[in-house]
Amino acid sequence: MYRLSNTVRDYPWGSRTAIPELLGLAATGGPAAEMWIGAHPDSPSEASHPDQPGTTPLDALVASDPARFLGQDTAGRYGRLPFLTKILAADQPLSLQVHPTLDQARNGFAAEESAGVDRSAPHRNYKDDNHKPEIIFPLTEFSALCGFREASATAALFGWLADTIESDPDLSDEGGQAAAAARRTAATLAQDDLRGAFTDLLSGGTAVVQLVALAAEAVSCGRHAVQDPGLAELASLAGFHPGDPGVLVSLMLNHLTLQPGQAVYLPAGNIHAYLRGLGVEVMASSDNVLRGGLTGKHIDLPELMDTVDFTSLGVPYLEPEEGPLGQELYRPPFDEFQLQRIAFPGEKTMADDDVAVSQQGPVTVVCVAGEVLLDSPQGDLLLARGDSVFIPANEAPVIARHQGGAPVLAFAVTTSERS
């Protein structure tokens, strides 16, 4: 087993305190948005072993002997560690975004490579050749936008905005263009045309910019009853991104307030945005993101339109399943990964059961509370709060044992038993 040292990304939307407080790290004073635990080449974890000097980037370690570290099946299928775990802490909304299918990622990456587009170029769409399906497991209350709600429900919200702007003399709509834009959007949605409404809003123009401002004022002024959670979020989104059409696109999406442990999964094509909260995020090892609003970064509208799934679906909640040895497993419909929650109560008693770590090839484990001993045939490793480890495929079985008197919470990620 290899201890890991992980990079914390300082994206501006990140919380300054949540990750340091969760993991017992020293706060830097700047945002700590994501801790990456894995072998993605942009920020690979540094791996160390008690019998070996120094550290090695985890991607290089895996590449040195894929069969040993990944197992024959995973090495043959993926050729790399197929998953990436993050601790994510958002204080501000992330951009509206969508992730490509595997074929789209491969083709898009190859096209940009062939065209000589620098991988760090702000207009580059594909940073690698992989897709990025993901799950989020909240550790705190967690707010997010996820997938399209029914078009008729969104049409009613835009109709309410038009009525409110027209009827409130304190909402100054020069030329009536904001109300007219709201009515056009409502009419498009009434025809169940999510694609058309989405395109019209993102195409922008002065009417959309004015509608963003007046919509935010309408819901925050206190003169109008606002019950829909999507409407209630508008003022906050407009405060972070004034004039951004993504503020209005947010009304088209399911607005979620997830409780700790209430996981959701996000397949390719699902447009979404995390708004605030702390959680464990697991994904296929990729950094491919196509943005669709709530951002000052590049938006490639044609590529975005080819990637978004314009289907109204229910929220893709992910319920836990019991593994073959009684483990608590979260198995999304993706082959690259599954998540195991490992939890022990406070004071250890004779009734405490050790937990088998689910292993289908390589595993990463991160401990976020208490202490847990990982016991393998090749040795033991104690993880305290904030520690993480890589377990090679050839080191099995591994048992998680409760240590100390404090409650334990840890998460293990491996390839899916579905694959």
* φ, ψ dihedrals at 178, nearest 5°: -70, -45
Residue 235, both tokens? 């003022």
Dist CA 419 CA 417 (whole Å): 5
Which candidate, 64, 88, 6, 70, places its Cα nearest to that of 283? 88
> Any idea how long the chain is?
419
- 372: closest CA among 350, 396, 341? 341
Task: Give all strands (DSSP E) within 71-204, no chain letters.
Answer: 83-90, 97-98, 134-138, 142-148
Give me the catalytic one of 183, 291, 331, 341. 291
Residue 184 a catalytic site member: no
| Identity at 323, one-letter amino acid code | G
- Separation between Cα atoms, residue 34 and residue 19, nearest integer Å: 8
Q: How far from 348 is each of 70, 404, 408, CA to CA, in Å? A: 34, 7, 10
Cis status of the peptide bond prior to 397, with omega within 30 of 0: yes
Q: At 278, is the secondary structure helix, strand, or coil?
A: strand
- CB burial of 360-399 (b: ≥16 within 10 Å; e: otherwise) equals bbbbbbbbbbbbbbbebeeeebebebbbbbbbbbebbebe
Q: What stretches of 228-288 show up as alpha helix (H) in DSSP?
A: 229-240, 246-249
Q: Residues with catalytic annotation? A: 291
